[in-house]
Amino acid sequence: MPTYKFQNTETGEVFEKWMYMSDRLSYLEENPHVKQMPTILNSVSEVGDFQNKTDGGWNEVLHKVSKVPGSVVKPYK
C-alpha cells in the first residue's frame, strides 16, 4: 500500500496516510479541505555488476557461445 502525503488546507497540518491507490480519490472527495502534496518517488537500484550476480553456469554458456563461428562473445573468467 502506498503512503500519500496530504495537507489540511484549514489548519496547514501536513500528514501522511497509508491507503490503497483506489481509495485516494474517494478520500479527497470526502475531505475537500485536504489536498494531496507532491512526494518524492522511491527507487530501487542494483549494486555491483553482472559478474558478481551470476554463477559459473553463465560463464559456461558464454564459453559455448564464444565457440560459434563469427562470435565476438568472450567468457569473463
| Residue spans per domain, the chain | 3-37
In tens, the pLDDT along 43-70 reads: 776 666 666 666 778 888 888 999 999 9
Angstrom distance (rounded) from CA 76 to CA 47? 19
Contact 8, 33 (CB under 8 A): yes
pLDDT for residue 48: 67
pLDDT digits (tens, 9 = 90+) for 5-43: 999 999 999 999 999 989 999 999 999 999 999 877 767
Cβ atoms < 10 Å from Cβ of 65: 13
